[in-house]
């Protein structure tokens, strides 16, 4: 993906990201931490760390760590993360670094330097072939990589109506973002190709409920969630029109008897050893 555009996308949503995203997905981080072997004295790294909340909670769970680092492409996310850590977790001495993960992994100082590396909801923004391989380079021998990712099936409701709308307009819309793994076996294969041994891969579906389809799409816009890069690249006024149309079609197709419109996030949690 186009990294400057991804960085500015997350700069735009950084201020409200924690409130928008963690209200729905906060607990999934605890699920990942329960799968990892966290203990005092480890060197911890969260790649694409966003506002830093998940890293703070991982470091707390591990106990006194040797080094705790968060890296993110968005300068505003890093500002948010530093401010939050100063406010609520100064004792953890977390280093937040503003960097593109790809450049970070080219620095020999960081190679194989961490006992636990996590990447949460980051694969969608990285090239499919290299995403897992890049983070794998950072894990020390015997250390663990933890991943949370969506799969191709995530958000099938929006993707289906987006494809239908495009077809009705005589347009071709490529399939949704495919940097994320197709399914469990694809993620296992990516971990193995990266030289890691998959220990656990756990599927999980989270259903987000909103009062309307348009509100579902608004959630995706507010959290920087990219389904189709072509839609993401539209000017804001066109996105407003697309949101109204997709929302209308979602309500028509998927609204439940209780009046709620659902969005399914088909997720995988994985832990692998280096």
Q: Binding residues for ligand SAM, per CB under 6 A?
A: 3, 6, 10, 21, 48-50, 54, 71-74, 77, 100-102, 120-122, 125-126, 224
Q: How far is the CB of 156 from ligand SAM (least distance, A)?
A: 19
Whole-number Å distance between alpha carbons of 187 and 179? 11
User: Taking the complex as a whole, how short is the minimal distance between the CB of residue 134 and ligand SAM, in angstroms?
Assistant: 9
Quick one: 249 or 268, whose CB is closer to ligand SAM? 268
Complete DSSP assignment for 98-165: E--HHHHTT-TTTTT-EEEEEEES-GGGS-HHHHHHHHHTTEEEEEEEEEEEE-TTTTHHHHHHHHHH
Q: Are strands 261-273 and 197-210 parallel, antiparallel or unpaired?
A: antiparallel
| 82/13 Cα distance (integer angstroms) | 16
Between 92 and 165, name the residue whose CB sits nearer to ligand SAM: 92
For ligand SAM, give the closer residue by CB, 77 or 196: 77
Count CB neighbours of 117 within 10 A. Answer: 25
CB of 175 to ligand SAM, least distance (A): 19
Residue nearest to ligand SAM (CB): 50
User: Which of 27, 235 has the CB closer to ligand SAM?
Assistant: 27
- 77 vs 81: CA distance, rounded Å: 6
Retrieve residue 258's tokens: 């209780």
Q: How far is the CB of 206 from ligand SAM (least distance, A)?
A: 13
In whole angstroms, the minimum distance from the beta carbon of 203 to ligand SAM comes to 18
Residue among 101 and 245 whose Cβ is closer to ligand SAM: 101
């Amino acid at each position: 993906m186009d990294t400057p555009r991804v960085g500015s996308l997350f700069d735009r949503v950084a201020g409200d990201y924690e409130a928008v995203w963690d209200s729905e997905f906060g607990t999934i981080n605890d699920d990942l931490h329960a799968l990892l072997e966290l203990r005092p004295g480890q060197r911890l790294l969260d790649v694409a760390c966003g506002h830093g909340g998940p890293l703070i909670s991982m470091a707390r769970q591990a106990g006194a760590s040797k080094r705790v680092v968060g890296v993110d492409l968005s300068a505003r996310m890093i500002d948010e993360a530093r401010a939050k850590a100063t406010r609520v977790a100064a004792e953890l001495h977390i280093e937040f670094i503003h960097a593109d993960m790809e450049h970070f992994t080219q620095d020999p100082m960081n190679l194989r330097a961490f006992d636990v590396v996590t990447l949460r909801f980051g694969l969608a923004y990285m090239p499919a072939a290299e995403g897992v391989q890049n983070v794998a380079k950072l894990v020390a021998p015997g250390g663990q990589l933890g991943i949370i990712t969506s799969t191709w099936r995530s958000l099938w409701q929006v993707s289906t109506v987006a494809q239908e709308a495009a077809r009705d307009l005589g347009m071709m819309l490529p399939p949704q973002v495919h940097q994320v793994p197709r399914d469990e076996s694809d993620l296992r294969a990516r971990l193995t190709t990266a030289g890691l041994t998959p220990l656990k891969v756990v599927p999980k579906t989270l259903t987000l409920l909103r009062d309307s389809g348009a509100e579902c799409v608004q959630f995706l816009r507010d959290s920087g969630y990219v389904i189709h890069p072509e839609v993401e690249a539209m000017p804001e006024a066109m996105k407003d029109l697309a949101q109204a149309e997709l929302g209308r079609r979602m309500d028509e197709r998927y609204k439940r008897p209780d009046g709620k419109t659902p969005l399914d996030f088909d997720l995988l949690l994985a832990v692998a050893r280096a």
